[in-house]
Structure 1
Amino acid sequence: MSTSSGASIIEYTTTKRIPSKEFTEHVEHAHKDGSFVSSASMEHYTRYPNRWSRVRELVREYVAEFFGVMILIIFGNGVDCQVVLTGNTAVAPSPKGDYLSISFGWAVGTALGVWVSSGISGGHINPAVTIALATFRDFPWRKVPGYIFAQVMGGLCGAGIIYANYIHAIDLYEGGRHIRTVPGTASLFSTYAASYMTSVSCFFDEFVGTAVLLIVVCALTDRNNGPPPAGLVPLALFLTILGIGASLGYQTGYAINPARDLGPRLLTAMVGYGGAVFSFRNQYWLWCPVIAPIVGGLVGTFLYDAFFFVGQESLLNRPDANARRAHEQAIRAERQKPIAGTQGV
């Protein structure tokens, strides 16, 4: 492009080759005194500028899920520890928070975890979400094992960070480094239902919480149902988790996320709580905070897709035999139409 105004001239020539990510730029400036200053720059953009970039391309989605869950657990387990441990006067002169603080902490952790990972991996940070999207929304099943492994490991590492941060307070609360009780301080990291809850009630509580979560997640990502502006989905999820925690959280600890429970549970088994974290209430860890959220997530997604979602990526919106037959007939009819202007020839 060349423009002329009085004694000043600017020439700007740009050459781009998009497939190979190469870019060449040449700029010439003419000053009022007639002298020219010419600058030329050559920059090359490639998809893999070095070896690490190739590795990163392979793992970035899974690492995003890892960090998303780790951030969730750092805030969630962190607020649990602060609120409960400071209730002991050996730790703090007065409690530093209450149940509402716990609800806010988990809501903040969810929002920030999704914010960190959503642009890279979709921000699932929950195996129940991953499995539901793979079942109903065309998320590739080949990625599911890697996503779930990364989510569980993120939970384990996040819990490890919080355990290391609060270990001295836990020692004071329990009465010594060698004392670790289940549920006791193990409940600061994983979920343990209230003693009055029956097994069916525990399962139902987690089922309902996760079903509600997935219905909201589906609505937030549905372009035809008034989704929030770009970048504000984490804020909407903040409100969702805050509401679930404040309304449904007390009885089972609202895991609503198998990785949020299993990752920290593995950590507690490793640091001294032992096998009791798994044997509690007849393998409670498996049927309540793992299986119930997965089933709840599937049912919630099914209900939304059955009654609201019209996108073609849903399993429930795939063309049936009659629709496919009508489509094929329409194509054949289009092919048999005479060419315009040839009817009278």
Structure 2
Amino acid sequence: LFLIGSGAAAQVITSNGNHGNYLTIQLGSALGALFGILVAHGVSGAHLNVVWSMSLSILGRHPWRKVPLYALSHLLGAFLGAATVYLQYYDAIQVFSGGQLLVAGPNATAAIFCSYPAEHLSFWGGLVDQVVATALLLICCLAVVDRRQGRLPNGLAPVLVGALILAIGLSMGSNCGFPLNPARDLGPRLFTFIAGWGEEVFTAGGGWWWIPTVAPFVGGLLGTVIYELLIEVHHLTTPHEEQIFNKCRISIKVRVNNCQNHNISRVT
């Protein structure tokens, strides 16, 4: 998730836009999410975002005890991802910045790794931006995994989530880069603090750093409640009833197959 997304940003920023543009950064973020899900979904469900884990836990579909472990894993993964991008683009960053690791200004490179507000963005504007964007993310992700909305072909869910990330980036990315993910922002911010950008990574934008860390949880909770109240409660079947129906359908299918095999054997 981080390598592809921030790698795209590093390529654009350090080349002064000669190797990519705003659109390629959004595509990088979307494709990073897509392949991140493909890699990890068979083991953990590929949460990639602790806000998603929290949402599923609120709905009773994920154990709360795993949420802190996932959060730490995401934070560590984002930190190491930032370190890897820095190693890959070390020479480019040094040449572009003139050897000075800056947070603000024409040669700033901190935005490669984490979110900073645009000059026009106020404190409340940033808070609203992240709450709304993360709420949208959760509403649409819950719709993607909601089998009562209709079963998706195998492998389509990651593509749809990637398309969702792209849509959010194209429509809500100019304010602060749509972090949407506390660990995705905080892990790289901790890395840049240690790697030489200094304490300005936390003081810039009037102490902006805590908004992409806290606001996504508020937006995630809001999106979960909206989807539960406006969509899920209006399904004709409950999740438990759907599970029972699926088990019965599988059982009937197995019996039909056994009968067919039995008849074939008798004919033979």
TM-score by length of 1: 0.66
Question: Is the Cα–Cα contact under 8 Å of residues 191 and 253 in structure 1 kept in the other structure?
Answer: yes
Query: Shift of residue 231 of structure 1?
Result: 1.7
Aligned to 1:135: 58
Match of 2:147 among 217, 223, 228: 223
Q: After TM superposition, where is structure 1 displaced by more than 2 Å over at least 4 residues in a row? A: 310-314
Aligned to 1:64: none
Aligned amino acid, residue 59 of structure 2: F
Query: Shift of residue 169 of structure 1?
Result: 0.5
Q: Deviations over 1:199-257 (max 9, x none)?
A: 00001111111111100110001011124212211100111011111111111110011
Aligned amino acid, residue 143 of structure 1: K
**What secondary structure is seen at the aligned counterpart in 2 of 1:278?**
helix
Alignment of 1:1-345 (within 5 A): 72-87=1-16, 95-176=18-99, 179-183=100-104, 184-286=108-210, 288-310=211-233
Q: Label 1:133 to 1:252 Cα distance change in 2 as closer, same or farther (>3 A).
A: same
Question: Is the Cα–Cα contact under 8 Å of residues 219 and 227 in structure 1 kept in the other structure?
Answer: no
Structure 1 distance, partners of 2:213, 2:168, is 17
Relative contact order higher in (CA < 8 Å, ≥ 6 apart): 2
**What secondary structure is seen at the aligned counterpart in 2 of 1:281?**
helix
Q: Deviations over 1:32-61 (max 9, x none)?
A: xxxxxxxxxxxxxxxxxxxxxxxxxxxxxx
Larger Rg: 1
Q: List alignment gaps of at least 5 residues for structure 2.
A: 241-268
Query: Shift of residue 282 of structure 1?
Result: 3.3
Structure 1 distance, partners of 2:55, 2:155, is 23
Structure 2 distance, partners of 1:119, 1:209, is 27
Q: Counting strand residues as a fraction of each chain, which structure ranks higher?
A: 1
Aligned to 2:249: none
RMSD over equivalenced CA pairs, Å? 1.5
Aligned to 1:62: none
Q: List alignment gaps of at least 5 residues for structure 1.
A: 1-71, 88-93, 315-345
**What secondary structure is seen at the aligned counterpart in 2 of 1:203?**
helix
Query: Shift of residue 297 of structure 1?
Result: 0.8
TM-score by length of 2: 0.84
